[in-house]
Chain A
Amino acid sequence: MTTVTYANTELLVDPEGFLADPSQWSEAIAAAIAAEVGIPELSDRQWEVVRFMRQEFQSKGEAPNVRALAKSSGVPIKELYQLFPKGPAKLAARIAGVPKPRGCI
């Protein structure tokens, strides 16, 4: 864990930059993380996905992977890749301040 400052708030993050405590999240923090990963300003559609990600985490206790995210949010996978290049679920989760979607072994 390391400490970083987003939107004038000191926060603990894991080695991959995910917030240690999802309850510390705010929209200003989301914007700061987005800027850091190369999205200077989140579009309405990107916000929609980020908010959906938070909702899913709050109701189910974990963040969905990209396929589950597409199925439950109704945003097609192809568009998710355009909104959040390379790793949509991972990136949206990080911006949403929730833990990385769980993988499998």
Chain B
Amino acid sequence: MTRRVVIIGAGTAGTLVANRLRRHTSPDVAITVIDGDNEHVYQPGLLFVPFGLLPPDRLVRPRSAQLHAGVEFVRAEVDRVDLERDQVVLADATAISFDVLVVASGARLMPEETEGLAEPDERVHTFYSLPGATKLAQALDRFDRGRLVINLVDLPIKCPVAPLEFCFLADWYLHRRGIRDQVELTYVTPLDGAFTTPTASEQLGGLLGRKSVRVVPEFATAEVDHAGQRLVSFDEREVGYDLAVMVPVHGGAEYVTRSDGLGDALGFVATDEATLQSKAKANVFAIGDATDLRASKAGSVAHFEGEILVANIEHYLAGRPLSARYDGHTNCFIETGFGRALLIDFNYAHQPGTGHFPGPVGLPLLKESRLNHLGKLAFERLYWHAILPGRPIPLIGGDMPTAGKNLQPAQRTAQSGGTR
């Protein structure tokens, strides 16, 4: 009997799960992937576009071309998921039935959540979308003096280190143009420090200081006041700007909020942090940015989760207990400018710390190096040719490696991540 696995979303998570699942299951398991467009954006590249380091068109490839033979691609908008009937209802009212559903529709930007942010303004930009990053490149090119403000409105966001990387690269970029001393760089964050975990926050905060980036912590942005060229917080503090780079509030896909019982108030899917099964229904799973997990919304998380999710879908189809468990493993290169980067590797139980990765001989952790920068650049090739095809990466398994690390238990700062 044929059974159908339907995956909503052909981004990083949906694509790698479809391809891995195709290799692991027999042809009597049909795999359908649904997405509203056919443009797969290499999102880690967005950071480099504003500085002219990557041309925008290089980041895009067809979604359909990343899916293996034997995976059906349906290009359509999803209206909602009917959990009672096990159906995905498309915008044109056709229904696709599933035995197993994987929600992999990621996170979307919600500028409308912040007063004034949805209005177009030559001085207010974002690099969190391809059109946004492209426009910001032009604005930065014209910018030659004044106040450059980077503001992360609220967590969770995709790639929580990217706004910091933007600061580091902006510092480098302005130096290269010989105008660094004409520009005041400010990082405005709702957190009480540079990052969500104490050890990394200290290290990254130190880097911001050395690069003369002023930090405005505990700032919950309520409004972008275009006429006054200032950000205003809910407790009525303000930060003026000449050019503002905003990271808007994120939420899950819109159809999630239209699907009874599937998601929370922001459209993220309540998910078991170990098995990746949704809390909504046993045959519904979620992966990547679409979940409400406390793990970072990052490609590496989708990659490590993919291995676990595919194993658990196989268990589910065979009627076995879901024995594969995700440990929260996350791995991020943090570009720090001037051809260097640092690396963090952590999981639910251990915060990012020092040491080496993936073992005692390897890339230095939480420390700037040229090698890490080269690692970040090499990742683009790895993304298209190993991550998306759902192949394991040599030496790097799903579970976080502990060898070579100075392990520190996870402990969160007073206001880590949207807990106001």
Q: Is the CB of B420 within 8 A of A87?
A: yes
Q: How far is the CA of A78 from the CA of B155 in the complex (A)?
A: 17
A101: which of B160, B265, B419 is its contact (CB, 8 Å)?
B419
Q: Is the CB of B265 within 8 A of A104?
A: no
Report chain A residues within 8 Å CB of B414: 16
B419: which of A60, A65, A77, A85 is its contact (CB, 8 Å)?
A65
Q: With A67-B113, A78-B234 known to touch, is A104 a contact of B266 (CB < 8 Å)?
A: no
Q: Is the CB of B418 within 8 A of A105?
A: no
A105: which of B265, B296, B415 is its contact (CB, 8 Å)?
B296
Q: Is the CB of B419 within 8 A of A105?
A: no
Q: Is the CB of B235 within 8 A of A103?
A: no
Q: Is the CB of B154 within 8 A of A104?
A: no
1/0 per position for B138-158, CB-CB distance to A under 8 A?
000000000000000011100
Q: How many A-B residue pairs have CB under 8 A?
A: 84
Query: Which among B218, B416, B418 has the greatest number of chain A C-beta atoms within 10 A?
Result: B418
- B294 interface hit (Cβ, 8 Å): yes
- From residue B247, how far is it (CB to closest CB) to chain A in Å? 14
Beta-carbon nearest neighbor of B295 in chain A: A105
Q: Is the CB of B419 within 8 A of A103?
A: yes
Report chain A residues within 8 Å CB of B328: 105
Q: With A105-B197, A105-B330 known to touch, is A71 a contact of B265 (CB < 8 Å)?
A: yes
Beta-carbon nearest neighbor of B413 in chain A: A103
Beta-carbon nearest neighbor of B264 in chain A: A68
Q: Is the CB of A72 within 8 A of B412?
A: no
Report chain A residues within 8 Å CB of B234: 77-78, 81
Residues on A facing B (Cβ under 8 Å): 16, 60, 64-68, 71-72, 77-78, 81, 85-90, 100-105
Q: Is the CB of B220 within 8 A of A102?
A: no
> What are 17 A-to-B residue pairs whose CB atoms are below 8 Å?
A65-B419, A65-B420, A68-B266, A77-B222, A77-B234, A78-B234, A81-B220, A81-B234, A81-B235, A86-B420, A87-B419, A89-B419, A103-B412, A104-B295, A104-B417, A105-B295, A105-B410
Q: How far is the CA of A105 from the CA of B416 in the complex (A)?
A: 7
- From residue B252, how far is it (CB to closest CB) to chain A in Å? 12
Query: Which among A65, A100, A103 has the greatest number of chain B C-beta atoms within 10 A?
Result: A103
Q: How far is the CA of A101 from the CA of B235 in the complex (A)?
A: 20
Q: Is the CB of A100 within 8 A of B419?
A: yes
Beta-carbon nearest neighbor of B268 in chain A: A68
Q: How far is the CA of A105 from the CA of B264 in the complex (A)?
A: 19
Report chain B residues within 8 Å CB of A16: 414
Report chain A residues within 8 Å CB of B266: 67-68, 71
Report chain A residues within 8 Å CB of B197: 105
- From residue B197, how far is it (CB to closest CB) to chain A in Å? 6
B346: which of A77, A101, A105 is its contact (CB, 8 Å)?
A105
Report chain A residues within 8 Å CB of B330: 105
Q: Is the CB of B294 within 8 A of A85?
A: no
Q: How far is the CA of A86 from the CA of B220 in the complex (A)?
A: 9
Q: Is the CB of A87 within 8 A of B415?
A: yes
Q: Is the CB of B265 within 8 A of A72?
A: yes
Report chain B residues within 8 Å CB of A101: 418-419
Q: Is the CB of A103 within 8 A of B196?
A: yes
Report chain A residues within 8 Å CB of B410: 105
Query: Which among B351, B414, B420 has the greatest number of chain A C-beta atoms within 10 A?
Result: B420
In the complex, given contacts A104-B293, A105-B346, what are 19 additional A-B residue pairs having Cβ atoms less than 8 angstroms apart?
A: A60-B270, A67-B418, A68-B264, A87-B419, A87-B420, A89-B420, A90-B415, A100-B419, A102-B419, A103-B415, A103-B417, A103-B419, A104-B196, A104-B294, A105-B196, A105-B295, A105-B296, A105-B330, A105-B412
